[in-house]
Every structure is written in C-alpha cells, then in structure tokens.
Amino acid sequence: MAKSLKSKRSKPEQEGELSSTSSPQEDGTIRVLLVEDNPGDAFLIQGMLGVKRSEDALQYEITHVDKLEEALQTLAQKDFSVVLLDLSLPDSHGLTTLEKVVAQSPIVPIVVFTGLDDETVAMQAVQQGAQDFLVKGQVTPGSLIHAIRYSIERQQNELALKQKTIELERVNKELRKRSLELEAANTELEAFNYTVSHDLRNPLTGIKTGCALLTAYMGNEDPRLQKYLGTIQDYTRHMATLLEGLLQLSNIGRNPIQAQVVNLSSTVQTIARQLLQQEPKRNVKFVIEPQINVEGDTHLLWVALENILGNAWKYTGALDHAQIEFGKTTLTHVSREPLNAAETIAPNQPIYFVRDNGAGFDLNQADRIFLPFQRLTNSEDFSGSGIGLSTVQRIIHCHGGQIWFDAVVNQGATFYWTLAHKQ
C-alpha cells in the first residue's frame, strides 16, 4: 500500500515533483481529518466510519477539529489520506474555506460537506479542488465510504497524470535542447566540410600545375626527379578525390529531396555499361531485375547506386568470373536482418540489394563500414577514398530508409537498403 499524502511542505513538491496519493496505509488504515463544528454531525460521521463492515477491510482513523485554523495547523503537522470539510465554520464560511485547505495541502483529497443542497456550490467546489461533494442529511454510511474511496482514487489518478505530464515536459525540453545542439553541430560540421573541401582545391590545383611545369621544364634530365614529381602528383590526385567525396557528402541533405519516379533497373544498367566500357577486358556478369521503380531523387539515387556498384566492381576485380546482381526482395528472404527490423520494416516492404561474389569482408569490422575515411583491413589492396558508403548511407537516410549488409570473406558481400514505404 502507498503511504499517506504529504503536506504542502514536503520535500518532493519543493523540487517540482508530486508525492503519490495515499489510500490505505500499510496497516490498512485511512486517516481522516474531519473538519466539522456541529457536534451532532461530527458524532454521526464518526459513527458511520467507526462501524466495522465485513465487506470493508479498512480501518478509519479519525481526527476531529471544529475550526479552520486548527485544521490548517493539523494538516501542517500530520499526514492524512482524506479531508472531510464543512464549508461553514466559526472562523470561515463558504468556498473560501475550501481554498485555504487546498492551499495548505494541495495533494490531499477533499470531500466537502454542506447543509445546502446547491449544485452550483457543488460544481464550484469541485472546480476549486474538492474531489467530491456531500449534502448533510442525505449521507449514508455507504455513500460516505464511497465518496472517501472515490476521492482518494481520483486524486491519485490526477496526481499520477500531473507527474507524467511534468516528466513528459522535462523529457521534451531535454529533447528540444538536444535537437538544437545536434542541429547546430551538424550545421557547423557541414559548413566546415564544405569550406575545407572547397577551399583546399585551389592549393591542390597549384601543386598539380607546379609539378606539371617542373616535369616539362626538367624533361628527362633526372629520372629520380621525375619519379618524385610523379609521386607528388599521385598523392595530389588522391587528395583531390578525397576532397571531392567530402564535398559531395557535405552537400547531401542540404537541399530538399526532389522526388519523382525513378527506374532503378535502368539506372543500374547504365552504370554497368559505363563500368564495362572503362575496363572492357573484365569478365563480369550483371544480373539486373527489370522494372524496379521507386519514388526518390534521381540524382541522389544515381550517386548511391554508382557507389554501391562501384564497390562491387572493385572488390570482384581479382576474379576471372565475377557476378554482380541487383534486385529486390522482402524481409523474410534476406540473409541478414538489421536491428529492430520487425519494428522498422513492414513484411511486404520492398528491400533492394546489390550482391557480388568478390572479396567480401569480416563482419567483426562492420561497425566501421559507413564511417567516413574508415576502410576495412582487406581494403588496402583496393583503391578508394573511404567516403563512398558514408555518402550512400546519408542518401538512403534522406529517403527515409535504412541500409545494412551481409558478407563473408572471399565469398562476396550483399548490401540491402529500403526507401520510405507507403502502406
């Protein structure tokens, strides 16, 4: 059982929290403060609560006072489960009496007694903090006990709701704060990325130009110098590739998605033709499921597929008979599910994939795969900037989807992703 209600001065309220209401104490007792100046009415109420009934396992401990001032002092010194309050006392009359008791102990349920059968007063009393209203002369033992029980239960529910509201407001405030901090951090990071990647391209261009001029000027006089200049140019080209990827990554999400119907199958076919044209000696079989149409940004989805297919092309480079497959499936047919798949992916939601039979990778390193500039250990033998999959992930997230993968070393990898799904 919960403990009895604390007075207004209790510590939890001072800290902006609400104490729990108390129905019966742990000893099965409801502590009642009876504020009544009429000895006959007080005697009658005490008698009604003092009779032990077989269906009522609770005891009622009654403290009786006949003045408001004495009631306020008692409430400040002792805990009560409920207050039975007469509105007409020697030192206070009407709803002012109720107001003062509520101000003293705002979380103690109050049942108002009056000799006036006035529904207007009853409504006002409830609006000002009373939990129930009883008219003298019409009270029975059953109605009195019901009113006490109802007032305690109602007060408990109200206080629980207020406490949840306070907690929810606190959480929302913290979330708003975190959201603003995250938004500011993202804005600063994107501005930094853009500035660095944009402003560093000019110095790189100067270095490349300088190396080209030195090569032309020196001719073939010193082979070692030519080698060193070639090394500088290689690193410069690599740096330019990194900056271009960083610039592309920082630009994703800065502008709204321009959604339209996109034929992913046609996009994959075009990218596949380009890859085969670049390396015509490669023996790579593309298996492309036809007529896969989605709604999304044409340019961004092209960039995503170009990176995913480029990875598959790169990591099948050592094979004599490579295969790269593009298609769609559903959650029940994927080889590996993402976290919280049941909550985030509908059973009939399309899942798109690119699968290859190339080098694969160790899933123990999977937590790094979408981080910028983070490359897997078996990636050292393959070219790349380490930004491609970070770009893909951001594009998929911008489309309201998620991306994950499955892989086995030397047996290939599969990248799965979803896009925003309409039921």
CB crowding 383-416: b at 16 or more within 10 Å, else e: ebbbbbbbbbbbbbebbebbbbbbbeeeebbbbb
132 — phi, psi (to 5°)?
Answer: -160, 170
- pLDDT at residue 15 in the model: 41
pLDDT tens per residue across span 152-169 = 888 888 888 888 888 999
- pLDDT at residue 9 in the model: 34
Lowest mean pLDDT among 119-133, 165-179, 286-300: 119-133
Query: What is d(CA 34, CA 85) in angstroms, rounded to the nearest whole number?
Result: 6
10 vs 118, residue with greater confidence? 118
Task: Evaluate whether 60 touches 32 at the Cβ level (below 8 Å).
Answer: yes
> What is the token pair recorded at 332?
């029940």
Local structure of 125: helix, strand or coil:
helix
> What is the token pair recorded at 352?
């798109």
Query: Is 127 a residue whose pLDDT tops 60?
Result: yes
pLDDT tens per residue across span 221-237 = 777 777 888 888 877 87
Pairing of strands 322-329, 351-356: antiparallel
pLDDT tens per residue across span 296-354 = 999 889 989 999 999 999 999 889 999 999 999 999 999 999 888 888 899 899 999 99
> What is the token pair recorded at 199?
């402003």
Query: What is d(CA 393, CA 125) in angstroms, rounded to the nearest whole number?
Result: 60
Predicted confidence band of residue 4 (pLDDT cuts 50, 70, 90): very low
Task: Evaluate whether 400 touches 394 at the Cβ level (below 8 Å).
Answer: no
How many C-beta atoms surround the C-beta of residue 50 within 10 A?
11
Lowest mean pLDDT among 190-199, 258-267, 291-300, 393-402: 190-199
Predicted confidence band of residue 17 (pLDDT cuts 50, 70, 90): very low
pTM (global) more than 0.85: no
Query: What is d(CA 162, CA 156) in angstroms, rounded to the nearest whole number?
Result: 10
Say how many residues make up the chain.
423
Count of helices and strands (H, E) across the chain: 12, 14
> What is the token pair recorded at 396?
């998929």
Q: To the nearest whole percent, how much of the chain has pLDDT over 70?
A: 82
Task: Evaluate whether 114 touches 88 at the Cβ level (below 8 Å).
Answer: yes
Average pLDDT over residues 360-378: 72
> What is the token pair recorded at 306?
């170009």
Q: To the nearest whole percent, how much of the chain has pLDDT over 90?
A: 34
Dihedral, CA of residue 34, residue 37, residue 41 and residue 47, to nearest 10: 40
Q: How far is CA 96 from CA 38, 147, 151, in A?
A: 19, 22, 20
> What is the token pair recorded at 46?
């005490």
Average pLDDT over residues 174-182: 87
Tell me the torsion sign for CA atoms 318, 319, 322, 324: negative
